[in-house]
Structure 1
Amino acid sequence: MTKTKLSRRISYMLRHDPDSIDENGWADVSYIVGRMREMLRSFDEKLLEEIVAEDEKGRYSYNEDKTKIRANQGHSVPLAADAVGMEKTDPPEFLYHGTAGGFMESILQEGLKPQNRNFVHLSGNMETAKKVGARHRKHGNTVVLLIESGRMAADGYTFWLTVNHVWQVEHVPPEYISVVQWEV
């Protein structure tokens, strides 16, 4: 089994499995290792550390003594308001969101909604947003949206920044959204 597949399973447990995490998003490393051994007998703490260290997106964080682990964002399980190391902060004037053309009608009518997550995820640059949008290719060509985050904040919307630099907001109404790039 590849590390990518193992990472996806870990990510699922730490984001969407209420039996795996506490109210702050933390899971005992021993619990995660035990659950992963159900998939791969040789799974151990060393392999978990490798997966975390090699994750390009910085999806995971350990506590100080590495006895607990959590996902940095993407949760569908309700968490405590100050969980997962998010910091309320003023966003830059613009942020970006990558999506697919097949979702655009809904986005332009209803805005960006968290879907099955707790927050809408936004990127600080177009390149990251383009990569995110490319993951949705089966739903149409990649689209990069410009979000007027500075104006949203001035209008009272709250933004959070995660430890791995993903911006989060509860909803983005359509009036703050512009299409910057639509690949054909």
Structure 2
Amino acid sequence: MDTVKISKRLSYVLRHAPESIGITLSPDGWVQIDTLLRALAAHGHRVTRAQLDTVVADNDKQRFAVDGDRIRASQGHSVQVELGLTPVEPPELLYHGTARRNLASIYADGVHRGSRHHVHLSADAQTAHKVGSRHGAPVILVVAAAAMADDGHHFYRSANDVWLTDEVPARYLRGEA
């Protein structure tokens, strides 16, 4: 199995469907690496520890965190986990990458987390462009993050520097980057 397929499988299992291979995540999202590798193999996805370590180390978005003999997804979960994130002050502006086809809805209703725990934002337009490109013709929206924080919205920063918040109301969108 190549590293892209392994990364996608890990994202699916650790963020959305641990039960698909018969594992249970701890309340804070961790699972023993040996347990994960055995469960993947039992479901037809043989991954070695060396392959897993390569995927974790080489993932450009640092989607996974390893702590000793445990692993978890850094963010993006649709299953209930408590990542233990502490609210932090955001920069003045953050960026949200999306597909052009979503603009009318976003400008009317804001950005919502959908089935995930948080809305994901980027500190720079280039990263947001990469995110938006995954969904079609990308558009980069500028978010008035400091103004949101001043109005009581909470922001968090994951271990891989993704900015997270519960929602972005439309009034905080400042157009396209």
TM-score by length of 2: 0.92
Match of 1:171 in 2: 167
Task: Name the CA distance, whole Å, in 1 between partners of 2:138 and 2:10.
Answer: 27
Match of 2:79 among 77, 80, 97: 77
Residue 153 of structure 1: how far off its partner (Å): 0.1
Match of 2:150 in 1: 154
Runs of 4 or more above 3 Å deviation: none
Match of 1:3 in 2: 3
Counterpart of 2:70, as a letter, is: K
Match of 1:21 in 2: 25
**What SS does the aligned partner of 2:96 have?**
strand
- Equivalent residues in 2 for 1:7-86, closer than 5 Å: 7-19=7-19, 20-37=24-41, 38-41=43-46, 43-63=47-67, 65=68, 67-80=69-82, 83=83, 86=85
Task: Name the CA distance, whole Å, in 2 between partners of 1:87 and 1:4.
Answer: 31
Counterpart of 2:120, as a letter, is: H
Residue 163 of structure 1: how far off its partner (Å): 0.8
- Give the gaps of 5 or more residues in structure 2: none
Residue 13 of structure 1: how far off its partner (Å): 0.9
Residue 40 of structure 1: how far off its partner (Å): 3.6
Task: Name the CA distance, whole Å, in 2 between partners of 1:150 and 1:46.
Answer: 42
Task: Name the CA distance, whole Å, in 1 between partners of 2:174 and 2:143.
Answer: 7
Residue 18 of structure 1: how far off its partner (Å): 4.9
Task: Name the CA distance, whole Å, in 2 between partners of 1:23 and 1:15.
Answer: 13
Task: Name the CA distance, whole Å, in 1 between partners of 2:59 and 2:86.
Answer: 22
Task: Name the CA distance, whole Å, in 2 between partners of 1:69 and 1:122.
Answer: 23
TM-score by length of 1: 0.89
Residue 149 of structure 1: how far off its partner (Å): 0.3
Q: Percent of counterpart pairs with the same letter?
A: 37
Task: Name the CA distance, whole Å, in 1 between partners of 2:18 and 2:112.
Answer: 22
| 1:142 matches 2:141 | no
**What SS does the aligned partner of 1:178 have?**
strand
**What SS does the aligned partner of 1:109 have?**
helix
Match of 1:98 in 2: 97
Asked whether the equivalents of residues 74 and 118 of structure 1 are also in contact (C-alpha less than 8 Å), the reply is yes
Task: Name the CA distance, whole Å, in 2 between partners of 1:134 and 1:128.
Answer: 10
1:128-177 Cα deviation digits (max 9, x unpaired): 0111111111xxx2110000000000000000001110000001000001
Residue 28 of structure 1: how far off its partner (Å): 1.2
Higher deviation after alignment, 44-53 or 12-21: 12-21
Asked whether the equivalents of residues 87 and 162 of structure 1 are also in contact (C-alpha less than 8 Å), the reply is no
Residue 115 of structure 1: how far off its partner (Å): 1.2
Task: Name the CA distance, whole Å, in 1 between partners of 2:85 and 2:62.
Answer: 14
- Give the gaps of 5 or more residues in structure 1: none
Task: Name the CA distance, whole Å, in 2 between partners of 1:39 and 1:6.
Answer: 12
